Chains A and B, each alone.
Chain A
Amino acid sequence: MAISRRKFLNMLTVGSAACLTLLTPITAWSAWASDAFNATQSEDAYKNLLGATETIDSDEVKLKVPKIAENGGAVPVSVKTSMKGVESISLFVKNNPQPLTASFQIPAGTIANVSTRIRLAQTSTVTAVIKANGKLYSKSQEVKVTIGGCGG
């Protein structure tokens, strides 16, 4: 059955609403998550979330994010990979006051493909880190936040 995008989006909304109710309340977060999300330095955020600061730069991490943000307040970003054994996908914005921006737990058997919108306070490197089979793989890209204007 062919399904139009609009119809699909409507279904998604219903789906996401259902998902939201499954999320654990923030108060129940374990200390590591709180420490990671509240860290003001990238290194601390990495350490608290992933237990390490070293990652392997990998083209298997497909990070899609604009090079110049059309709106720094809501920058669309998606991360996917065909690697096996993915446990989590996390996003770091180096120059944000709190670099860890999002972390997705990927249950076994789930397609590793997430997308969200992130806020950038200023031009920054955005890094996606994928934890797979206990190892950390990453891909980074500069995202510019500009005052704009003056285009040819």
Chain B
Amino acid sequence: MPPPRDLPRVLRTLCPARPHVLSPARNAFLSMTTFAPSRRCIATTAAAPNNAAPSTPKRKPLTKEQRDFLSSALRVNQTGELAATLIYTAQTPPLVNAHPHLRPLMAHMYEQEAGHLRTFNSLITKHRVRPTALYPLWSVAATALGWSTALMGREAAMACTEAVETEIGEHYNNQIRTLLEMFEQWEAEGYEVGDEFRDLIGTLRRIRDEELEHLDHAVEHDAKEARPYWLLTSIIRAGCRGAIWTSERV
């Protein structure tokens, strides 16, 4: 359903116009997250009359909480993309050695992750956010994770990708949701949302979609065949959640 025409332009672009055509696995995962933004769009339709009131749109200074949220969000994203590039770097040689047909896929996924890392590197420099203090720890952990899962075989490596990208996708969705709530509040109070934030949310959506594409690739390449699948994925997912929690703080 396309968003109504009388919405402010920003909100129309924020509403996911294209429905995700997904594999069943991804559909199940996204079922709760794709609904959240659309619900938000409907909620702002009710608030639309208030938005038309101010003649000169102005921008609200960020509160302390919002600045803290944004800096920890950018920091944890940079850390996550760093870890992702290191996981793929460590996985590629053993995996490609055993299964040469995976070379293009691994190269493609690595290229995208390296692009994300460049994006967040420039964002944290631009917005003066400090990088995570546990950088060496995450580097070692990510390399060890990628290398050990690749040694366990193709299915385990793909299960690792699936687990990591599931957590990451959820994490990006949470950030997008919080940003949309921020926008909604600003719009309701008659303030304008700066281009900086429209670009940021666009970047987050693009990267989230690419991460979920990796999740699809992993499932297509027999991630579910890994033994023991439940143990491997739940350990990796718990590790990811712990790393995200820590990186938001230090």
Q: Do A and B actually bind?
A: no
Which residues of B are at the interface with A, using a C-beta cutoff of 8 A? Answer: none
